[in-house]
Every structure is written in structure tokens, then in C-alpha cells.
Structure 1
Amino acid sequence: MKKIVVMSDSHGYHAMIDLVRELEPDGDCYVHCGDSEAETYDMQDWLCVKGNNDWYSDFPEHIQFKVEDLNFYVCHGHRFGYFDRESKMIYTLQEANCDVLLSGHTHVPTYEKIDRYTFINPGSTTLPRGGSSRSYCVIHVDGKKLDVEFKDLNAYQA
């Protein structure tokens, strides 16, 4: 079983990146879904993608990786828009031959399954929306099985 720690939309609050790492020191993989507004050297131990506010980063627009028997696709999510979003996300996973989409942008924690595809948004560690709390998520992967847990950061100052 592998542990993936996922965060997004920290928007320049770099202490949140350190806090998440401190809270989850045993992660096998750390993923930031964009809008970190961090320099590349600050994110050396993270798989990072470029968000719509990462103007000066050289992070890639998307990345793919495999954990156990699942193929993951990571992007910020701003290019999906808000209309027909799920269809665009499914199409992206189909084109990339991936099973799980990790994305941010909306600042709302989401875990959704449509057919054989899974969509996970960890929410925002600093600027939550939609009545949600500041959050990140932990994904345990065992073969093709996922266990997703959202972690509330409201009790922590960073």
C-alpha cells in the first residue's frame, strides 16, 4: 500500500507546504496541484504542476505517474472551465490512458467517481471556497483500490 499526499492552491503561503509535509512525514509521494506560487527549488520533493497563478514557475502543465495499479494524471484544472467540466475531465483521462485525475483550481474538496474514472480535488490549504475548510487529502492506494481522506487544516496556523 502506498500513501499519496495531495495539496493545492496554497497561493504563496509557503508555510502551508511545510506544514502538510510535517503532518504527513510518511508519504510515499507528495503532489501539489498548482497555484503554489513557489519557486521550483522550494518544491524539489513535490510533484508539481503549474496553476493559473504560477506566472513565474517552470512547472509543467500536467504530469502523469503510476502508483500500484493506477495511473494518475495531475493538472491544475483551470482549463476545464465550469461548463461540462466532467466530460472534459473524462476525455483528458481517456486521452492520457489514466484512471485518476488530481486537480485543484476550484478550492473545493471533491472526490467523485464516474464510470471507471476518479476525480480528486484536495481543496485549498489557504483560501477555501464553497463553505469548505482549509484542506489537503491523503490517498492510500492498494492495487486498484483507493481510500481518500480529506484533512482539515483549520486548527493549524501557518
Structure 2
Amino acid sequence: TFEHDFYYVYGNCDTPTFSPGFDTSMTFSAFNKKILLTHGHRPRTHSANIDIIIQGHTHLCSLEKKGPHIFMNPGSITYPRNGIYTYGVIEEGSASLIELKTGEILITIDY
């Protein structure tokens, strides 16, 4: 079990039997922020009512702040395109990318 809520969206590398009932995108609120979680076949631009946009189609980790918006690609814990296994974490006041094998925080952005 997870200590905190865990969110998942279906991607093109996922098998339907693994993810029945899931969609390729969803929105939810956490830490007083509106978050869009999407597989991301197409790059997303900001939306006035979305604070954090998370998309992972490329399997290449990235994290940046553009104006009031945070853009995250958590990378991949199974098929990273750059050989670095990564995942993303959203916490109260910050977003981070973490290397799976070492636990090293690669980048953190405060919001």
C-alpha cells in the first residue's frame, strides 16, 4: 500500500489487462494545485485552470517551471529512453525527479 494517493493513466506501452478502467488522461487536485496527468502523445501547453502538467509519452525525464505552471515528464521506471530509470514526486510546495536505482533527487522545483 501507499502512504499517499497514487494516480495512474494508461499509455501506449501498457497492456489493456494491466490497466482496465483507466484512461490516457485525468485531472485531480493535490496540495491546493490542479494537476493534469496525461500520457501525452502531443505536447501540452499551459491551461489557465491547470497548475501542474505531467506527461510521460517520451519516457525522457524533464521538469521545468514556465510562469506559474510546472511541466513534468517523470521519465520511466521500466523503459527509459536515456537509460536512466526515473519517477516524479509532487509534494506540498515542490516537484522532483528521482533516480530509481540510487534514490538521488535529480532536480527539484519549488512552487
Structure with larger RCO (C-alpha < 8 A, sep 6+):
1
Gap runs ≥5 in structure 1: 1-20, 31-46
Match of 2:10 in 1: 50
Aligned equivalents of 1:48 and 1:126: distance in 2? 15
Larger radius of gyration: 1
The amino acid across from 2:65 in the alignment is K
Aligned equivalents of 1:137 and 1:53: distance in 2? 18
Residue identity (%): 29
Q: Which structure dedicates a bigger proportion of its chain to helix?
A: 1
The runs of at least 4 aligned residues of structure 1 exceeding 6 Å deviation read none
Q: What TM-score, normalized by structure 1, do the two folds share?
A: 0.55
Q: What TM-score, normalized by structure 2, do the two folds share?
A: 0.74
Higher mean alpha-carbon deviation, 132-141 vs 64-73, is at: 132-141
How many residues in Structure 1 have an aligned counterpart in Structure 2?
Answer: 100
Residues 110-140 of structure 1: CA deviation (Å, up to 9, x unaligned): 111112211111110011123x511112221
1:129-148, aligned counterparts within 5 Å? 129-130=81-82, 132-141=83-92, 145=93, 147-148=94-95
Higher mean alpha-carbon deviation, 64-73 vs 147-156, is at: 147-156
3-state DSSP class of the match of 1:90? coil
